[in-house]
Structure 1
């Protein structure tokens, strides 16, 4: 009876999670793949085929945009890591308990508003008549306003601001478990700051680094509002191509193919990152 009760409790505990995975992730992706393999040969007449994928390969603007999105997503991930690692180390190893809570709160504040509001906040700062440009004119550093929007730099700044919390949290979780005696031992053995960082801190924090990079890369590659609003027509993003196929051209078959290609490409990139870092997904998730 006790064993059956434990088994029933376990089933009831995981049933909502399993249904969530099945209904909101597995089945939609299966439907998307099936839809992408429908090739339109006549009005309301479809055949099984890979025509949507062939069209993607035959159009350079599509796969160039995908490669461009991936490269910029990697750049955003690297910048988020460079900025977020010192912040995470300070929160985990230097700040006191009260300061740690305050710093975490400051990191969480941007998530209290939607992506749309955050993007418009950056627009107010970076546009030609915005806060930064007006301050430059007022200080005499320039005679007229400067347009900081609608370029790759604005997109990168906005995306780093959006995803940096997802880099900090796993890093703090990992670094918090590292004992101070390990760092002290490194200094006692004659290691300098860079040596201790390279030989002790970074290897220990590697699961958190990999977990943060995976999350930030996937979120960045799948972002839509920030690249569109901050980059405009000068910064094409692959999610915009997906949106155009679904909404503008009403070509759901090509849109589904593009969505699956984005998922496959980012998944392969994550797999390569795990291979190069020597980490496994199970070990990374377990440590963070």
Structure 2
């Protein structure tokens, strides 16, 4: 009787999560795969095949954009790690208990507003008549307005600002569990700061590093608003291609194929990253 009650309680606890996974993740993705395999041969006449994927392969602009999105997302992930790791280490190991809450609050502030508002904030700062350009003219450094927007550097800056919190949180969670005696032992054995970082801190924090990189990379590759608003017409992001297929061309079949290709590509990059780092997804999630 007691085992039945425990089993029922377990089922009731996991039922909402299982339904959420099934209804909002599994079924939509299955529907997207089926839709991507439909080829339009005549008005309202479809047959199953790989024509949408063949069209993607035969058009260089599509797969070049996908590869460019992947490389830019990797760059954003690396920059977020380089910036976020010192911040996370300071919060977890150096800052006092009272100041940790305030520091986390500062990291959370960007999430209080939507991606759209954050992007327009960058536009107000970087546009031709924005704060930076006006300051440079006022200080006499330049004689005419400068347009800082609509380039890759601006897009990368906006994306790093958007996703860096998702790098900091798992790093803080992992580093917080590291015993300070390990660091002290490294110094006592003759190691310098670089040696302790390379041989003690980074290996211990690797699960948090990998989990943070996975989240940041997936969010960056799937971003739409920030690359479009900050990159303008010069932006070349694969999510724009997906939007164009769905909304502009009303070609849902190609849009579904492009969406599945983006998912497959990012999943492959994550798998490759796990292999290169020697981590497993289960251990990474469990320890971070």
Which TM class, normalised by the smaller chain length?
over 0.9
Q: Equivalents in 2 of 1:123, 1:202: separation in Å?
A: 36
Q: Equivalents in 2 of 1:132, 1:90: separation in Å?
A: 30
1:123 paired with 2:123, answer yes
Q: Equivalents in 2 of 1:103, 1:146: separation in Å?
A: 34
| Alignment match, 2:25 | 25
| Alignment match, 2:156 | 156
Q: Equivalents in 1 of 2:135, 2:180: separation in Å?
A: 44
Of 129-138 and 21-30, deviating more is 129-138
CA RMSD of superposed structures (Å): 0.4
| Alignment match, 1:8 | 8
Q: Equivalents in 2 of 1:4, 1:282: separation in Å?
A: 29
Q: Equivalents in 1 of 2:137, 2:215: separation in Å?
A: 39
1:78 paired with 2:57, answer no
| Alignment match, 1:58 | 58
**Gaps spanning 5+ residues in structure 1: where?**
none
| Alignment match, 1:145 | 145
Three-state SS of the structure 1 residue aligned to 2:164 is helix
Q: By how many angstroms is 1:145 displaced?
A: 1.3
Q: By how many angstroms is 1:144 displaced?
A: 1.1
| Alignment match, 2:283 | 283
Three-state SS of the structure 1 residue aligned to 2:191 is coil
When normalised by structure 1's length, the TM-score is 1.00
Matches within 5 A, 1:82-231: 82-231=82-231
> Stretches of 4+ moved more than 3 A in 1?
none
Three-state SS of the structure 2 residue aligned to 1:11 is helix
**Gaps spanning 5+ residues in structure 2: where?**
none
Q: Equivalents in 2 of 1:233, 1:57: separation in Å?
A: 24
Q: Equivalents in 1 of 2:110, 2:189: separation in Å?
A: 42
Q: Equivalents in 1 of 2:117, 2:35: separation in Å?
A: 33
Q: By how many angstroms is 1:220 displaced?
A: 0.1
Q: Equivalents in 1 of 2:245, 2:165: separation in Å?
A: 31
Q: By how many angstroms is 1:204 displaced?
A: 0.2
Q: By how many angstroms is 1:271 displaced?
A: 0.1
| Alignment match, 2:249 | 249
When normalised by structure 2's length, the TM-score is 1.00
